[in-house]
């Protein structure tokens, strides 16, 4: 089976240069840290485009496939521009993500609007922007979207998001397809939803079903189970209501390699399983071959990204852990604190030193739980060294915060030995730009 980019631990352009430093996209990481400061997010454009090519090649055997990138993984104007060039649409979950796509001049018909509690203003704006599909999550949204579409004298093209009752063995917080979930219509609620659409909500046009079973998935059979359930429902709906649905959105969730022990399936392996299953259910349930939507997010962007930090202080606990502290942590990468996520790292400027010691990389934030990597072997780490943490393209910047009133980090895109800022570093002025002081406080002296 062909290996795909999501199975690599590091960006595919990672090398050691003549100075003995780590190099990605033809750019010396130590020089990037000096030029742009740290913490610094680095995205390798070649790795990003490679995984896009992997997906397109893998699913080329089933021409009725639409790729929509899950923007929540990393949403910036430049990233959206690249993925638009690669032919991808976008799975969005907020007006902010929709507006970012609009700002990047993406074809808004390629946008799917997802989410379990969309507001009136978001739905109204999404209709005005002309998004291609609304994935409707609940009865409240069905009524609200129909009302807005009626007011605007237009129709909204929708999918019904369902909870298929499949539980994948990922972290509890990133399972979305099991029965006890905040997302989607339960299978027992589908009929009521369809009857409302057919009899009352005349400004909604139903095209198909949508499900998402989880994230960081390594289990290959879970997609087969999901497709089986959705095809069975489509067949039943056609027989019961005479309604022919021709779209199935099976979500995303393919895993990536964060540490050496991780062994995610390749895009090619997943594609074979999905395509074979689709062909099987088409014949089994006597339905038309559906248009299949895929929503890869993490597996598109994660491997392409690394984060650079500078080592500062260190602490040796007597007869215990040696901590080395870096200038970032849980505010630029909350995943270890939230999900107990594991990462791999190297010192970018010490590739010629082979003697290592076991250390724990601690963040700079005022929380005991601000630990990036526990018990990692590194070559004699010391103040001023540049740490490169791999596979941080997904859910790092997108989940970043201003905890401890620290500005969010810059992001650079590297390609062909050139680097360009695609997200600037937040300044002190940025941090207070939304603060307001009431006039009565301005006019008083606090003693």
C-alpha pair distances (Å), 383 with each of 206, 306, 311, 417 = 59, 20, 5, 27
Residue 355: the pLDDT is: 84
pLDDT tens per residue across span 198-229: 999 999 999 999 998 888 888 888 899 999 99
Q: Judge if 343 and 196 occupy the same domain.
A: no
Question: pLDDT class for 342, splitting at 50, 70, 90?
Answer: very high
* CATH number of residue 194's parent domain: 3.20.20.10
Judging by DSSP bridges, how do beta strands 89-92 and 65-70 pair with one another?
parallel
Question: pLDDT class for 170, splitting at 50, 70, 90?
Answer: very low
Tokens of residue 319, six digits: 């007869």
Q: Judge if 292 and 332 occupy the same domain.
A: no
Residue 168: the pLDDT is: 44
Catalytic residue numbers read 366
Residue 404: the pLDDT is: 98
Q: CA–CA separation, 160 vs 158, rounded Å? A: 7
Is the pLDDT score of 320 beyond 60? yes
- The last residue of one of the domains, among 247, 276, 296, is 296
Q: Look up the domain containing 21 and give its range.
A: 1-44+306-447
Please say whether the beta carbons of 182 and 137 come within 8 A. no
Q: Answer yes or no: is 50 within a domain.
A: no
* CATH number of residue 31's parent domain: 2.40.37.10
Q: What is the pTM of this model?
A: 0.93
Q: CA–CA separation, 321 vs 323, rounded Å? A: 6
Residue 183: the pLDDT is: 72
Provide the number of structural domains found in the chain.
2
Q: Answer yes or no: is 262 within a domain.
A: yes
Question: Which 8-state DSSP code applies to residue 25?
Answer: T
Is the pLDDT score of 363 beyond 90? yes
Q: Judge if 143 and 187 occupy the same domain.
A: yes
Q: Judge if 209 and 128 occupy the same domain.
A: yes
pLDDT tens per residue across span 385-397: 999 999 999 999 9
Q: Answer yes or no: is 105 within a domain.
A: no
- The last residue of one of the domains, among 296, 317, 343, is 296
Compute the mean pLDDT over every residue in the chain, rounded to the nearest whole number. Answer: 93
- Average pLDDT, integer, range 401-405: 97
Question: pLDDT class for 175, splitting at 50, 70, 90?
Answer: very low
Cα radius of gyration rounded to whole Å, the chain: 24
pLDDT tens per residue across span 61-77: 999 999 999 999 999 99
- The last residue of one of the domains, among 296, 320, 340, is 296
Q: Judge if 393 and 253 occupy the same domain.
A: no
- Average pLDDT, integer, range 135-159: 97
Q: Judge if 343 and 291 occupy the same domain.
A: no
Is the pLDDT score of 297 beyond 90? yes
Q: Answer yes or no: is 54 within a domain.
A: no
């Amino acid at each position: 089976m062909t290996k795909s980019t999501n199975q690599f631990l590091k960006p595919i352009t990672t090398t050691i240069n003549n100075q003995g430093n780590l190099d990605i996209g033809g750019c010396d990481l130590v020089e990037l840290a000096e030029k742009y400061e740290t913490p610094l997010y680095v995205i390798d454009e070649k790795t990003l485009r490679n995984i896009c090519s992997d997906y397109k090649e893998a699913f080329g055997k089933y021409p009725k496939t639409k790729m929509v990138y899950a923007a929540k993984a990393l949403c910036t104007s430049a990233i959206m521009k690249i993925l638009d060039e690669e032919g991808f649409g976008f799975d969005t979950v907020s007006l902010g993500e929709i507006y970012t796509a609009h700002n990047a001049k993406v074809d808004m018909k390629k946008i799917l609007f997802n989410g379990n509690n969309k507001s009136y203003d978001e739905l109204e704006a999404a209709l005005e922007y002309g998004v291609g599909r609304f994935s409707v999550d609940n009865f409240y949204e069905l009524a609200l979207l129909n009302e807005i579409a009626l007011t605007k004298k237009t129709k909204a093209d929708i999918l019904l998001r369902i909870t298929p009752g499949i539980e994948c063995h990922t972290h509890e917080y990133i399972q979305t397809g099991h029965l006890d979930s905040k997302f989607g219509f339960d299978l027992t609620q589908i009929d009521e939803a369809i009857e409302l659409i057919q009899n009352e909500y005349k400004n909604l046009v139903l095209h198909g079903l949508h499900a998402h079973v989880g994230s960081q998935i390594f289990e290959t059979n879970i997609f087969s189970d999901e497709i089986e359930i959705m095809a069975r429902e489509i067949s039943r709906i056609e027989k019961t209501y005479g309604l022919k649905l021709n779209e199935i959105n099976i979500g995303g969730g393919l895993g990536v390699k964060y540490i050496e022990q991780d062994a995610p399936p390749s895009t090619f392996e997943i594609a074979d399983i999905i395509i074979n299953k689709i062909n099987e259910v088409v014949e089994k349930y006597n339905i038309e071959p559906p248009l299949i939507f895929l929503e890869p997010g993490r597996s598109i962007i994660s491997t392409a990204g690394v984060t650079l930090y500078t080592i500062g202080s260190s602490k040796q606990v007597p007869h215990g852990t040696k901590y080395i502290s870096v200038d970032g942590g849980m505010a630029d990468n909350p995943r270890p604190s939230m999900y107990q996520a594991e990462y791999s790292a190297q010192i970018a400027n010490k590739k010629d030193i082979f003697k290592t010691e076991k250390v724990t990389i601690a963040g700079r934030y005022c929380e005991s739980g601000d630990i990036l990597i526990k018990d990692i072997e590194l070559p004699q780490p010391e103040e001023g060294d540049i740490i490169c943490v791999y596979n941080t393209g997904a859910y790092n910047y997108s989940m970043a915060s201003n905890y401890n009133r620290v500005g969010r980090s810059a992001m650079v895109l590297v390609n062909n030995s050139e680097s360009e800022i695609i997200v600037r570093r937040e300044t002190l002025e940025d941090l207070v730009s939304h603060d307001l002081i009431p006039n009565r406080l301005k006019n008083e002296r606090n003693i």
